[in-house]
Each structure stands twice: as structure tokens, then as C-alpha cells.
A and B are shown apart, each in its own frame.
Chain A
């Protein structure tokens, strides 16, 4: 049974339908990636999974449990963390305070574990450790992205939703971020990764979906997608 199973998802913004029946699934322990053009509906899909948007129709099952329509603050407690597009850090709070909020949903009895997880996150992103007292809004774009990921990890999610973690980052930093995504996954966290950078995304992912204007156009193993002509033309800019 897949950890996340989305079927026939329809999401509307007012009168505009952004998703016209999206189905996808993410296997336990794997990385799945969702690629597609601007406005295809990738972020919308993630927002629906984490409960920030209520779907008009369709179902979302996490770990076999129906979570469609469940409030986002409860979905976090079930083990789904969302690192949103545009990072969504709290700009007037310090890095430290942002990280605290990452663990907000966890019970106080996990205090010691939270402290350990925090150390682990800071080991993954040593730049953050040097800037614990800095206001998050004054971090560079890349640092904010790191903070958003570190903060999402502190929820100790079983499923991590990453929305364009490489957006606007320098090539070397992109390499680092993708290495960290691999590490996080290797440590046991299942990941649904949304990316513009299809090349890198398909390299780290096990499975890939191509989203075109609110519909899944292709679904295959990442290797196969990477080699397919359509994907190479449309998303990898080759051929």
C-alpha cells in the first residue's frame, strides 16, 4: 500500500478549476517527483495534500487513512510536513524561533527527541547554526530555503512535501540541496518533490509524474521519464 494515494483530485479557486482529476501515489520510503510548467497545478496539489486547500472532489489517503478535508494542523500531526513554495518562513522571527515552530505539533514529552532532531537538522544545514539569532527575513534566499526544509524536518514527518526547493539558488547550492534531499530520504522519510528543475528532480526521484494544466500527462519511473523524448524536449530542453 502506498503511503500517499491521491485519486481523481479536483481543486477549484473560486470558479477556476486548477486540477481536473489528478491521481498519483507515493510509495513508502521513496521519492516521487511532480514536474510541469508554470501554472500546471503542482503547488495546488501539494496544498491540497497538506490540507491548506479543500478539494472539490476526489480523495487523498495517507497511510491508508482518508485525510480529505482534514484541517492542516491535524494533518501535520498525522505525519505530513509541507515546505511551501516561496519558503513561508516567519520573517520577523529568528531562525531559532522558526525551528521551534517546526516542532510545534509534537507533544512536550518528545522534548529530548526534538532537541536531538534539531541538532541533526542543524548538522544538515550548518549555515543555519551560525545564524540562529538572525531574523529569518534577513536570510538570503538560499538560506531561507534551508530554514524551510530544516523546519519541516523538525515535525519529524513520514511524508515530506517539498515545493521547489531549488528555486532561485546558485548551481552549487542546488547540488547541496539535492544531496540533502537524498540524505533525508535515506534516513527513512518519504518525499513528494515538486520541481521546475526536472533534470535534478528526476535524478534523485524513484518515480515521476508530469503534470500538464491540471492533469497527469505521464507517470513512470524516473529513469524512464528521464530518457523519454517528450520529457527531454519539453522539460529538459534537450533535442
Chain B
């Protein structure tokens, strides 16, 4: 889609060369600089699995996984609602698509290949190995990420189908269309047949039968539970990294310009439709990944409600509280919004009211959210906080 980027990539070997050599004398080679954060994230993920899990214990490790999934959801939605200033209200629709697609992949692949839908074991999931895998890894260590990726890609494709027609238009069309999208996904899932329980039944039903055997209104039970702290930290880290790379790149600048003034952005040469669609597709991809992580989490029964508006609303809350454009803000808000109900069990029934009140309070006290578009590590955020105190200067337009 991004014709210019492709041309740039294809046309000049010099560009490729500059990836491996230093672009400025004394600077680290670009490839090293871009690989380093990934290495750090992988290391953190391994540490989370090896050390943190033991430290936290079952309950808190479980909570941490939920937080991680919500970080992926909130940060990905930030790319659309924050960076480009569009308003998607159906993020949970993509979560459900990713969850069901990746769930169908792991469930039916295991069932037909290994005779059981139960987890085939995986070191990275902290499970004993029951089936041969690749080298040191278990079968689940390979199957799970592949399934997540497929879920993310299908979700991204749907994002393209939803985004292309609705993002050409200015205004609130996207909100309405995405709201409808989430509901359609929910209803479609509800109409699906029961999950097939035996390898024979699956063989007989064929691919189409398996693709429509998703448990219907009862939910898609029996998925292998691969999701571990490793996978969650890995994808939460990667999502934040990608979001950060986008934000600090030229295309991120283009997204922010669309958010501020679409007509002026167009006049600067920004293809506003393409920019918005890209943002939407990337967000849908990561929502799909989050869905896969959620679906394979212990104690979760993936169901049609996971596509519903209530779920989308929770994610929107995190993004708005975080500051509509702040990656770290959205992540922080995901932590708070996930933990609060755990500690306020007594008032769990009123959580919608509490969140609504929190939103209203936020609009009054800090109209731009916790951090606005800035990040916790931006120096001017802190300087601004100290110098301006409670003044509303620099507030919204």
C-alpha cells in the first residue's frame, strides 16, 4: 500500500547498506540500534517467566497476564484513537476475531494432528513437554505464536475491510461503523455451531466445519492454555515498541497531523485516508494478537460477549484516561483499570458507574488525560507539571 516506502526500499542499495553501517560516525549501526530493544524485550519476557512468576505467585501472576493483555489492547487502540484522532468503538471486535481465529488454529490443529485439543506442552508457556517440538522447544512454543500471528493477520485484514470505506469520510462514521462491526462479530460468533470434540468428528466436518465450530453462545471451551507471562510480556513490549517507533517516525507525525487538522495535513501532502487506514490496520493486528493471548489464558472462557461494546468501552476508557496519544499513559491506565476492580470487589457491580465518574472527573481536572500525547519519559512533561501546577494552559483546542 505504501508505494513510496516500497520504492524507497527497493530502489536503493545505499539504504540497505545504511541499515548495517552507521549512518553517522560514532552512532551505533541502525540494525543494532533497532534490534537492541527487541533483545531487551525478549530478555524481560524470559525473566518475567522465570523470576516474576515465582515471586508473584499464582493469583498475581494471573492478574499480571490480564494486565499485559489489556496493555496490548490499550496501546494498539491508542494508535487509532490517540495518534490519528479517529474514534473506533469496536476494538473488542478485533480482539474476538483474533481470539477465535487463533483459538480455532490451536484447538483444531492439536485435535487433528495430535488427537487431543489439550496443550501440547511448551517451555515458553511453562508447561511440561508432551509432544516432540523443534529442538529445545515444545510443540506449543511453535504452534502458539503461529496461531497468534494468524489471528492478528485475519484481524488486520478485517480492519482493512472495515477501515477502507469508513475512513475515507471525515467525521464520526468510523465510530458508528466500528460499533456495528463489534456487534456483527458478536452475533456471528453466537450463531456458530458447537466445537467438535473428537478428531474423527473434526476430520468429517472438514475445514469449513471446523471454522464454524466455535462453540456458539456457550463460548469456545477447551482451548489449550498456552498464555504465560513470557508471551504476554513479549507482546506487550513489542506492541509498545512498534507504537513508539510509529509515533517518532514521519508516518507518526503524519498521523498526529491528521488528528490536529485533517485539511491542513492533506495540504502538507499527507495522504490522510491512507494514513488513517494504516493506523487502523496496525491497531486491528495487535488487537487480534491480544485476543489470541486472552483466548489461551487459564481461566478464560472465550465467548461472544468478548466482542461486545462493554469490552470495547473498557479499552476506550484506558486510552482516554491515559491521554489519547500517550503510549505509556495508555499502558499505565491499563494497569490501573485492570487492578481497581480486583481491589474493589465490593463495588464490582458499580464499575461502569465508577469508570464513568472517573472519566468525568478526568475531563474536568485533566482534559487531556493523564499524560496528554506525551510520555512518562518526556522531560517537558515533568517540567510542565512542576512549573504550571494546576493551570489548564496548553489545554485542548
Q: Say if the beta carbon of A39 comes within 8 Å of chain B.
A: no
Q: Say if the beta carbon of B267 comes within 8 Å of chain A.
A: yes
Q: Per a CB cutoff under 8 Å, which of B4, B253, B264, B272 touches A97? A: B253
A91 near B260 with CB under 8 A, answer: yes
Min distance, Cβ A9 to any Cβ of chain B, angstroms: 19
Min distance, Cβ A184 to any Cβ of chain B, angstroms: 18
A104 near B267 with CB under 8 A, answer: no
Q: Say if the beta carbon of B46 comes within 8 Å of chain A.
A: no
Per-residue 0/1 for B1-32: is the Cβ within 8 Å of any A Cβ (1 yes, 0 no)?
A: 00010001000100000000000000000000
Chain A contacts of B266 at CB under 8 A?
52, 71-73
Q: Per a CB cutoff under 8 Å, which of A82, A93, A109, A137 touches B267? A: A82
B267 near A88 with CB under 8 A, answer: yes
Q: A90-B264, A138-B394 are in contact. Are A76 and B269 (CB under 8 A)?
A: yes
Chain B contacts of A52 at CB under 8 A?
263, 266-267
Chain A contacts of B12 at CB under 8 A?
109
CB-CB nearest in chain A for B258: A90
Chain B contacts of A61 at CB under 8 A?
none
Chain A contacts of B385 at CB under 8 A?
none
Q: Per a CB cutoff under 8 Å, which of B261, B271, B373, B397 touches A73? A: B271
Chain B contacts of A50 at CB under 8 A?
267
* Chain A CB within 10 A, most for which of B12, B264, B269: B269
B257 near A90 with CB under 8 A, answer: yes
Q: Say if the beta carbon of B332 comes within 8 Å of chain A.
A: no
Chain A contacts of B335 at CB under 8 A?
none
Min distance, Cβ A140 to any Cβ of chain B, angstroms: 15
Chain A contacts of B113 at CB under 8 A?
none
Q: Say if the beta carbon of A107 comes within 8 Å of chain B.
A: yes
Q: Say if the beta carbon of A34 comes within 8 Å of chain B.
A: no
Chain B contacts of A97 at CB under 8 A?
253
Per-residue 0/1 for A105-118: is the Cβ within 8 Å of any B Cβ (1 yes, 0 no)?
A: 10111000000000
Q: A88-B263, A91-B260 are in contact. Are A105 and B394 (CB under 8 A)?
A: no
CB-CB nearest in chain A for B271: A73
Q: Per a CB cutoff under 8 Å, which of A82, A104, A138 touches B270? A: A104
Min distance, Cβ A87 to any Cβ of chain B, angstroms: 9
A90 near B271 with CB under 8 A, answer: no
Min distance, Cβ B2 to any Cβ of chain A, angstroms: 13
Chain A contacts of B394 at CB under 8 A?
135, 138
Chain B contacts of A37 at CB under 8 A?
none
B254 near A104 with CB under 8 A, answer: yes
CB-CB nearest in chain B for A105: B269
Chain B contacts of A81 at CB under 8 A?
267
4 additional contacts (CB under 8 A) given A81-B267, A151-B268:
A71-B271, A88-B267, A97-B253, A100-B253
